[in-house]
Structure 1
């Protein structure tokens, strides 16, 4: 062995000739161990397994602790396996039916066309391997969550530059009061994965990858199409355009110069809405209604009245209610408070993370609120810039403890309520 380089060698002696041949050190094991020790792998894995053990345990205990809730009057996807059954509630039935029966649409009724195709497609790919659409959905949801936590950790580390903030970010989002949806047969974890990946690659200036995940994002949820504008804003920022310099002539000169030089990238980014457009084309050819995903929303009582009208109506009802006699819509109160808290944090998102994050945050709150507040506490679960800011604020120990205790307590309560067929969001 060469003591100066640490490299092994073999000495070969032939008649009158001595050859020293270096032998490369094969460090496959060392390389993999180093990768496994990488914080962006270890921290998300730890948070994932810790919070999922808690989620599965809480859901199971919550199901069996309330007598009568597992009776025949409630639909159960797997009555002989409560560890799986608890994750199929409410909208889960639509996703499972899409996998087994395909899309269905009948005007005036709650139809499966309201649900975008990426998540049920992933379920259908996995279902033949595991033999159950329920198990396929649970696996897709949980694997998507693990991938989302890895991307979110790397994104938070990129923006803030310190691992404690990144760790708090993924932990907070994993114990948010509605984080049980990440393991249920719902789109939350899949949408979180593709949306975080889109922004991550946009921030890293990897536009092809950002476009790919953006297309998937637009085909996962109706709100996913807005990432097109977010990625475009990121491209503008990379070209020197910023909101605080919008009145400067040189800012626009630099932007148009970048557009002439880099127009193929802009053209690539404009492909992101194809995710939604492809689904619209399918609906047109199958049901002769390209916006069936939107018109079907009326069957759930959702009408686009505008966020201001909706919020004023909800606040007025809450102000005229009497909590002392129990005459109060508790979920309405939670959803309204969640909305205003999210909008308040959006200011910090804009100041610390920039315009693209702020646009994504505000739009992700306003668009659902335009048709009702009934599920806002679930929709805010995937608005990851909010949790990035909370992750930074969590450096203050008192606030960190308050977030963990508050989120944890309500997570346990809402999980128990959800698995017992009480509508949460």
Structure 2
């Protein structure tokens, strides 16, 4: 084959294309990504012809048929919280009243909207419209998702050295029922990319890099601050828990809380309340509750959506327990529990089917379970069926997560 040979052109040696683009990158990530996103676009586009419910949340949106773009193929990637992020980009942070009763955009952390904002500066000023900013955000989400899949693949190969497990993990993430959020104007793709990057850097003992990424994660969502727990655990494990071997480089981890509190201080002047971005969650009816009470009797019960969120939550609790055995990694178990437990303490199950997306160790564990053909078939068929259902609901302006 011609690609197996080096070609000389004007004295320059050209690298074979296989060395530029590894086969696993195209076959295990790029092609599955493109196929899955094309399938979602197809579902989202054609479901507009399904009979509409007369009880939509916003009648004006139902009448015009879109939220952020009149182009259906683009608009299906933005709903609900997308509006808050665009509001931050266009107006900055602002408070509209009592933070405990009136929602405002300070509940949403700055990393993702600022990445979109500064990326949109590449456009001429006349083209920085709401719709084009939305387009930039959607493109960035997809780009970050692809890089997250690549990094996750490499992390699995580094940690478990099993190509089949890596490929199935990528596939399960792509076909998971709420996977379409990775392509939406939401923070899921950024959070997944950075959190996987934290672990990859930590496995390489690149503590400065992992701490910087941890700081970015703390600016992505409030729970991002908790990444400091598994990172410190990995560091102590790397020195065999010998306290006398702790080096000054351990101070890098302070970058994570510093980043977190830098945002709190930046919006302090709006409320004179340092923890306003967390307390404002009460405006969405999120109040402290014991996890089992939240599961049994959640507030903001949305019928079938709450039942779906309950099923996902229970399933992930069981899968996390299974992953302790499958992955034989206390660190991954810690990560999984700390990103599942806090939302369960808010009294509501709203968005749990989306929140579990970033718990990547569970997807790795599912991939180990998927070595059995019947289990793999079960995951694949169930995921694809539910993904179609939820994508239709999402595209048609129903609340999903």
Alpha-carbon distance, 1:231 to partner: 0.4
Instruction: Name structure 1 gaps, 5 residues minimum.
Output: 1-5, 8-24, 242-254, 319-327
Classify 1:181/1:340 alpha carbon distance in 2 versus 1 (closer, same or farther; 3 Å): same
**What are the Cα deviations for residues 135-174 of structure 1, in whole angstroms up to 9, with x where unaligned?**
0211121111111111111111222211111011011011
Aligned twin of 1:92? 82
1:56 maps to which residue?
Answer: 41
Moved more, 127-136 or 373-382: 127-136
Task: Tell me how many residue pairs correspond in the alignment.
Answer: 378
Contact 1:346/1:362 (<8 A) preserved: yes
Alignment of 1:196-235 (within 5 A): 196-235=196-235
Partner of 2:386: 410
**Change beyond 3 A, Cα 1:353–1:59:** farther
Matches within 5 A, 1:19-418: 26-30=12-16, 32-40=17-25, 42-67=27-52, 72-74=60-62, 76-106=66-96, 107=98, 108-130=101-123, 131=128, 132-241=132-241, 255-259=242-246, 263-314=247-298, 329-351=303-325, 352-371=327-346, 372-418=348-394
Change in CA separation of 1:353 and 1:50 when aligned onto 2, cut-off 3 Å: farther
Report deviation, 1:308: 2.6
Is the partner of 1:356 in helix, strand or coil?
helix
CA distance in 1, matches of 2:192, 2:113: 15
- Cα separation, 2, equivalents of 1:234 and 1:350: 16
1 CA distance for matches of 2:243 and 2:172? 41
CA distance in 1 between partners of 2:268 and 2:355 (Å): 28
CA distance in 2, matches of 1:123, 1:225: 22
8 Å Cα contact 2:93/2:105 also seen in 1 = yes
Deviation at 1:41, TM superposition (A): 5.9
Residues 164 and 26 of structure 1: CA distance in aligned 2, closer, same or farther (over 3 Å): farther
Would the aligned equivalents of 1:338 and 1:376 in 2 still touch at CA under 8 Å? Answer: yes
Question: What runs of 5+ residues in structure 2 fail to find an aligned partner?
Answer: none
Contact 2:61–2:67 (CA under 8 A) maintained in structure 1? no
Deviations 1:368-408 (A, max 9, x none): 11112111111011110000111121111111111111000
TM-score normalized with structure 1 length: 0.83
Residues 198, 211 of structure 1: 8 Å contact kept: yes
What SS is found at the alignment partner of 1:423?
A: coil
Max Rg structure: 1
Relative to structure 1, the CA distance from residue 276 to residue 373 in structure 2 (aligned partners, 3 Å threshold; closer, same or farther) is: same
- Take 2:37 and 2:178, find their aligned partners in 1: how far apart are those partners? 13
How much has 1:67 moved relative to structure 2? Answer: 4.6
CA distance in structure 2 between the partners assigned to 1:279 and 1:228 by the alignment: 17
Deviation at 1:264, TM superposition (A): 1.7
Indicate the RMSD between aligned Cα atoms, in angstroms.
2.5
Normalised to the residue count of structure 2, the TM-score between the two structures is 0.88
**Would the aligned equivalents of 1:41 and 1:150 in 2 still touch at CA under 8 Å?**
no
